[in-house]
């Protein structure tokens, strides 16, 4: 997908959660050309398997459903190990997916973390299926996973995507901790 200037981006981030908690509150900000135009929120189960469906349902029911062209995340999971199916999100919502992380994505570590999860086999199969379609690039000190968007379009909007992810991180951290902490 070639991303037009002015296309809306939805950036997602989760509020900090307690390990013994059951749900994580997810914040989503919709922005266009650096201006935040709206917000949405939803919850996911900690280490569950509902992140994909809850995201699709939340955005699909929102007034932004037809406007958002890119979903930006910090990694492939919400709520601990609640892995998102990027391919399903892209197909069902008609969007591109961009994941930005400071550390290089390492499937071996993800598989190890999932080893005690009752849904490990299904989650690992989904991860492998998605990684066959994801392109990973290095840009501005970040690792960027791309699905459904060309590298030139994504890198041309990288500053905007990273800034929006940082803003969602600060808001989610402030909600979860009472004040923002850490860096996105």
Question: Is residue 142, in this structure, part of any structural domain at all?
Answer: yes
Q: For residue 144, what is the enclosing H or E element?
A: strand 142-147
How many domains does one find in the chain? Answer: 1
Task: Encode burial over 78-111: b for 16+ CB neighbours within 10 A, e otherwise.
Answer: bbbbbbbbbbbbbebbebbbbbbeeeebeeeebe
Which CATH number fits the domain that encloses residue 85? 3.30.2170.10
In a domain, residue 1? The reply is no
Does residue 41 lie in a domain region? yes
CA proximity to 32, closest of 6, 67, 63:
6
CA distance 28 to 6: 18
Which among 130, 155, 135 is positioned nearest to 145, based on CA atoms?
A: 135
pLDDT tens-place string over residues 128-157: 998 899 999 998 899 999 999 989 888 888
The CA-atom distances, in angstroms, between 78 and each of 5, 116, 150, 165 are 28, 17, 24, 14
**By residue range, what is the domain housing residue 153?**
8-177
Compute the chain's Rg from CA coordinates. 15
Question: pLDDT tens across 29-44, in order?
Answer: 999 988 999 999 999 9
pLDDT in tens, 106-120: 888 888 888 888 888
* pLDDT for the residue numbered 54: 97
Instruction: Check: CB of residue 82 under 8 Å from CB of residue 156.
Output: no
In a domain, 157, yes or no: yes
Q: Determine the Cα–Cα distance for residues 62 and 121; give it in Å rounded to an integer.
A: 32
* pTM for the whole structure: 0.91
């Amino acid at each position: 997908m070639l991303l037009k200037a002015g296309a809306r981006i939805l950036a997602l981030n989760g509020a900090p959660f307690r390990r013994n908690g059951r749900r994580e509150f997810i914040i989503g900000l919709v922005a266009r050309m650096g201006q935040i135009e709206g917000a949405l929120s939803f919850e996911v189960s900690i280490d569950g398997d509902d992140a994909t469906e809850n995201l699709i349902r939340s955005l699909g029911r929102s007034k932004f459903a037809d406007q958002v062209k890119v979903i930006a995340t910090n990694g492939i999971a919400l709520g601990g190990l609640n892995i998102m199916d990027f391919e399903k999100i892209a197909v069902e919502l008609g969007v591109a997916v961009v994941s930005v992380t400071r550390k290089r994505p390492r499937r071996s570590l993800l598989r190890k973390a999932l080893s005690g999860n009752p849904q490990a086999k299904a989650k690992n199969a989904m991860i492998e299926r998605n990684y066959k379609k994801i392109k990973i690039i290095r840009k501005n000190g970040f690792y960027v996973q791309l699905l459904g968007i060309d590298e030139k379009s994504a890198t041309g909007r990288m500053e905007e995507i990273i800034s929006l992810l940082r803003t969602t991180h600060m808001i989610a951290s402030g909600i979860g901790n009472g004040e923002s902490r850490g860096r996105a």
